[in-house]
Chains A and B, each alone.
Chain A
């Protein structure tokens, strides 16, 4: 049945091909801004926010209280084109069909950690994922006279309220555990407004409530210059609710690993990398196989202290999509950071393009006739974060 399983088929029919926002949304910036600048390597990040994702990592935080907050603004650009063919069936080029550009603020995360000796505890809130999409198109007839306008707007967010604890043993080994409660709503509004008053406008909207729990466990081995961590996440009791109809989501376990390496050079360089794998081929919606594929991703980045004590960062991230190979995303990241006493201020910019064809998804209804629709979209996100130790 593909990704249109369950109640999702209604949403797909309305939105005409937006598979990302119709699954669990775009991943948010859940770690620090420093990690965001280094390929979004959250699992190798030492910050109160990242400790909610990788509980054992809290053991690397400084003694006492640490607080961190991040926020993001994103510029989304989407261009839809249609392939133009000649009479021999050869592609001549791609003609623009619609162009959408949206600028919206996105919340990040706020968390507080406390560490004393071998014990560290963290708590906070993170925007686990966001649903942000806006599309509008002027509709013309065959003589290029405007007959109406089509507008689609999808918004919402999944909030993750988390708590975690870490305990260190033998100075090199830390273990951690945590859990979070996830809740949020995705709102979809679709309108077609006709110029001709005798033709009725079309308007429909759907709100989908999503709730669930996620349990986490991880371990960290700290060898001084090198620290390696690994852990698992198990979603539990996830549900989608549309107009009081609840649907069970069976989500798989996710395995994660992170690496921090301090080479020891005059630039005080730091190399970080993380990796994740999820058995998403076992996802079920209302006990029906969603026909997804297993997914995985990795990120890597580097940090150097430049002359003047400004910290420069760069990295990249690759995430495979559980929906289709065409939606696999690469992300380029870079950023700067400044330390002012116990306060650090970090900024990051990331850029992520993706391009896919309408016909690359089984079961996706056609947004335009034929197979010629191509979607090119990109997200440029600016993240700002502050961390303070007390």
Chain B
């Protein structure tokens, strides 16, 4: 009997330190102070909320009394559940990075990695820190100098007092560095999966998207069939050309219904091993050629970008080896930066070798690359073998390499490219100021087929336009390109200077020199660049004002045999230009700051025309939660024409205000007006003035750190001058007159799961008047119904867009 009582007493006793939050359902049922109904309620509450914050919360649960609370207080404890931190931090940092004129995808992906596994600050050098967003060369060298002279730091915040390090640089650095030591023997497994769904419904891309290309192709086909191009007097086989255009047209029609999907998996073990894979297809994209050539698999129909990498890191002689897809960006990007993006007027650049799972395709490198550190020498070596897209002549031979959103079969994977080279830097920081280094690099590119850039394959013969495009005339021909580079850089106190020069095997040179001076309240950067007309490096992403084919015939698809060749205008290579660029930031007081003021004076070396661009923005902050920014932009550009050059003067005024009216709310408003004054042209009715503007509002409410809803709306009107607006996390093109709104929901469910939904509706109005045409051969008409009269009408275009992102981490 006694034994039974003792046993019952032992069974009923609550173990010391019994934690309600981590107890199982069965363990809760064993508690004598709770009924089974109370256990059901309590267990659901703990599961649903992640745990009790304190024991007193139970009194709010149905069925719980003060007596129950008293019993629980005496017998159990409540250990706090860990709060999710990393995921919400990633969301906020990534949004900060996704700004107008912000960094590219590859850099953002690299920084996201660093948020999860920060750089071990006591092991890094200035070249590592230069890869961080808005951390200047001087900031990076200052930290390196402090570490070399005073030894390791015990906390990141102790870097704050580093001489010549701006607070701005420190603030942008601190999220990505830590005092942890790398552990190359560790095998802790971690990873992430990201799924993105991207779709639209409507007539998106009327101007330069899929609908625009469809219209241009249809027009070209009609023109050739009607005999408008006089091809019979040329060597062009009109039947062959029509067949090609019809094939491309059919492919684009299919592309209209293509939904964007992206799957990305990344995993790692300790600090030594990392691997990743990406399969994706862009919205409205053509699949092009097979993703995996020669394999009849569904993957070829579903995806157009496939990437994979395996990365090995160590602290020995070989610091890193990447097999698969990688991104390399060194010095000032004149020799090698294989991004698909060229950021205009960008003086910040990520430095180094990183795995590449971005959506870039045409400039992706696939092979192996390594980073070596031996004493004072930092070296990179790389090799790649991968197919490339090219605009092709009618006989199928490659004309020029191009990078386009739309990859018809005729242009896709036309040739194979073998790329290899290296860049070595000698660090003189032990003898000269830390940050001083000299470097030499080589780059060799070989193609499996000779490039043959002939105008006859591109230009419409006998039309009114006289072909004159020096940028095209100096595109590479043949099957081999090689480049040699030299660079030097130094930092002295709060000043820096860098120079890089590259020579192409045809004798052409390109060079860029950049110098900076900075302190906490003022900085100035000056840059001089000179890219020769006959210099053409497909991996050149150095500072530029314009893309190589901006303001050329390739922006006018109706002047090309194949309108899709107009995508050459997107080639992310700088225009041949010589220019001087000056940029500054000046904080006058706590209330007034000139956030960015720059002046670029450059010469277009294709035509030797002089151009100028100025932009200034001043911020006024009367009280901490309210800011006003006034921006003015002026651009004077001369475009070459046959007889008299035309001139365009653009002015743009922007007023923005940001405020934090209540806790958890963020409100911003932007008002813009711009106008362009052009040289009168009878072809366009001598209209010499175009204008446009918009009013945009945005409001974000945080329900909690884990849930926020953002809504925005824009109203615009244009009279010939289209507008570009930065919307949430991307740029939007505004034409005609219209309105739009968008809603974004950001939900961090836990450190393991994040969600982001975005919905956009955009309404654009285009009035169409003056349809009377006396010439019966020049009538507006409905397809297949030429006799029905078309009267004036207003075209109302409604577009819907959705983008959903799901992140799972472990």
What residues make up the interface of A, taking CB atoms closer than 8 Å to B? 82-96, 142, 224-225, 261-271, 300, 302, 304-307, 312, 314-316, 318, 325-326, 328, 330, 332, 353-355, 360, 368-372, 376
Residue of B nearest to A376 (CB): B798
Of the listed stretches B195-203, B367-375, B588-596, chain A binds: B195-203
Q: Which of B201-226 contact A (CB under 8 A)?
A: 201-203, 211, 214-216, 218-223
Contact with A along B39-69 (1 / 0, CB 8 A): 0000000111111000000000000000000
Contact in complex: A330, B218 (CB < 8 Å): no
Contact in complex: B747, A85 (CB < 8 Å): no
Contact in complex: B257, A326 (CB < 8 Å): yes
Known contacts A314-B745, A355-B203: A265-B84 contact under CB 8 Å: yes
Contact in complex: A224, B47 (CB < 8 Å): yes
CB distance from A147 to the nearest CB of B (A): 14
Kindly state whether residue B81 has any CB partner on chain A within 8 Å: yes
Known contacts A262-B47, A264-B51: A89-B784 contact under CB 8 Å: no
- Interchain CB contact (< 8 A) of B201 among A92, A268, A353: A353
CB distance from A172 to the nearest CB of B (A): 12
Contact with A along B221-255 (1 / 0, CB 8 A): 11100001000000000000000000000000110
Contact with A along B785-806 (1 / 0, CB 8 A): 1001110010111101010101
Residue of A nearest to B222 (CB): A89
Kindly state whether residue B706 has any CB partner on chain A within 8 Å: yes
Residue in A95, A325, A326 whose Cβ sees the most chain B Cβ within 10 Å: A95
Kindly state whether residue B777 has any CB partner on chain A within 8 Å: yes
Residue in B25, B779, B795 whose Cβ sees the most chain A Cβ within 10 Å: B795
| List of A residues within 8 angstroms of B222 by Cβ | 85, 88-89
Kindly state whether residue B703 has any CB partner on chain A within 8 Å: yes
16 CB-based A-B contacts, threshold 8 Å: A84-B782, A85-B780, A89-B221, A90-B558, A95-B790, A263-B50, A263-B753, A265-B706, A268-B49, A306-B703, A314-B745, A318-B259, A328-B259, A330-B201, A332-B759, A369-B784
| List of B residues within 8 angstroms of A261 by Cβ | 749, 753
CB distance from B534 to the nearest CB of A (A): 36
- Place the interface of chain B in its size category: 35 or more
| List of A residues within 8 angstroms of B800 by Cβ | 330, 353
Known contacts A264-B47, A304-B707: A85-B768 contact under CB 8 Å: no
Kindly state whether residue B609 has any CB partner on chain A within 8 Å: no
Contact in complex: A93, B795 (CB < 8 Å): yes
Q: A95-B793, A302-B749, A369-B784 are in contact. List 8 more A-B contacts (CB 8 A).
A: A89-B221, A92-B780, A96-B796, A268-B49, A304-B707, A332-B759, A360-B257, A371-B783
| List of A residues within 8 angstroms of B795 by Cβ | 93-95
Known contacts A265-B749, A368-B785: A330-B199 contact under CB 8 Å: yes
| List of B residues within 8 angstroms of A90 by Cβ | 215-216, 218-219, 558
Contact in complex: A88, B804 (CB < 8 Å): no
Contact in complex: B50, A96 (CB < 8 Å): no
Known contacts A84-B768, A96-B793: A91-B784 contact under CB 8 Å: no
Contact with A along B76-107 (1 / 0, CB 8 A): 00000100100000000000000000000000
Residue of A nearest to B749 (CB): A263
Contact in complex: A372, B780 (CB < 8 Å): no
What residues make up the interface of B, taking CB atoms closer than 8 Å to A? 25, 46-51, 81, 84, 197, 199, 201-203, 211, 214-216, 218-223, 228, 253-254, 256-257, 259, 558, 703-704, 706-707, 745, 747, 749-750, 752-753, 755, 757, 759, 766, 768, 773, 777-785, 788-790, 793, 795-798, 800, 802, 804, 806
Give Cα distance in the complex from A90 to B781, angstroms. 10
- Interchain CB contact (< 8 A) of B48 among A262, A368, A372: A262
Contact in complex: A325, B49 (CB < 8 Å): no
Contact in complex: A307, B749 (CB < 8 Å): no
Residue of A nearest to B51 (CB): A264
- Interchain CB contact (< 8 A) of A266 among B49, B779, B788: B49
CB distance from B45 to the nearest CB of A (A): 8
Contact in complex: B785, A370 (CB < 8 Å): yes
CB distance from B688 to the nearest CB of A (A): 24
Contact in complex: B706, A267 (CB < 8 Å): yes
- Interchain CB contact (< 8 A) of A89 among B50, B203, B218, B750: B218
| List of B residues within 8 angstroms of A302 by Cβ | 745, 747, 749, 755
Contact in complex: B84, A318 (CB < 8 Å): no
| List of B residues within 8 angstroms of A332 by Cβ | 757, 759, 802
Give Cα distance in the complex from A347 to B742, angstroms. 22
CB distance from B152 to the nearest CB of A (A): 37
- Interchain CB contact (< 8 A) of B793 among A91, A93, A305, A372: A93
Residue of B nearest to A325 (CB): B257
Residue of A nearest to B201 (CB): A353
Contact in complex: A300, B806 (CB < 8 Å): yes
Contact in complex: A330, B802 (CB < 8 Å): yes
CB distance from A83 to the nearest CB of B (A): 6
CB distance from B154 to the nearest CB of A (A): 33
CB distance from A324 to the nearest CB of B (A): 8
| List of B residues within 8 angstroms of A369 by Cβ | 782, 784-785
| List of A residues within 8 angstroms of B214 by Cβ | 91
Give Cα distance in the complex from A92 to B215, angstroms. 9
Known contacts A89-B221, A353-B800: A318-B197 contact under CB 8 Å: yes
Give Cα distance in the complex from A88 to B223, angstroms. 6
Residue in B755, B780, B783, B785 whose Cβ sees the most chain A Cβ within 10 Å: B783
Residue of B nearest to A374 (CB): B203
| List of B residues within 8 angstroms of A354 by Cβ | 201
| List of B residues within 8 angstroms of A262 by Cβ | 47-48
Known contacts A95-B795, A269-B749, A371-B783: A89-B219 contact under CB 8 Å: yes
Contact in complex: B197, A316 (CB < 8 Å): yes
Contact in complex: B750, A263 (CB < 8 Å): yes
Give Cα distance in the complex from A262 to B51, angstroms. 12
CB distance from B720 to the nearest CB of A (A): 17
Residue of A nearest to B795 (CB): A93
Contact in complex: B218, A93 (CB < 8 Å): no
- Interchain CB contact (< 8 A) of A267 among B707, B753, B757, B785: B707
| List of B residues within 8 angstroms of A84 by Cβ | 768, 780-782, 790, 793
CB distance from A167 to the nearest CB of B (A): 20
Give Cα distance in the complex from A218 to B134, angstroms. 54
| List of B residues within 8 angstroms of A267 by Cβ | 703-704, 706-707
Give Cα distance in the complex from A130 to B25, angstroms. 44
Contact in complex: B779, A87 (CB < 8 Å): yes
- Interchain CB contact (< 8 A) of B782 among A85, A270, A304, A328: A85
Task: Give 5 closest A-B pairs by Cβ, nearest first.
Answer: A370-B784, A89-B222, A264-B50, A93-B795, A90-B219
| List of A residues within 8 angstroms of B51 by Cβ | 264
| List of A residues within 8 angstroms of B766 by Cβ | 93
Residue of B nearest to A63 (CB): B40
Contact in complex: B784, A225 (CB < 8 Å): no
| List of A residues within 8 angstroms of B793 by Cβ | 84, 93, 95-96
Give Cα distance in the complex from A332 to B200, angstroms. 12
Give Cα distance in the complex from A360 to B250, angstroms. 11
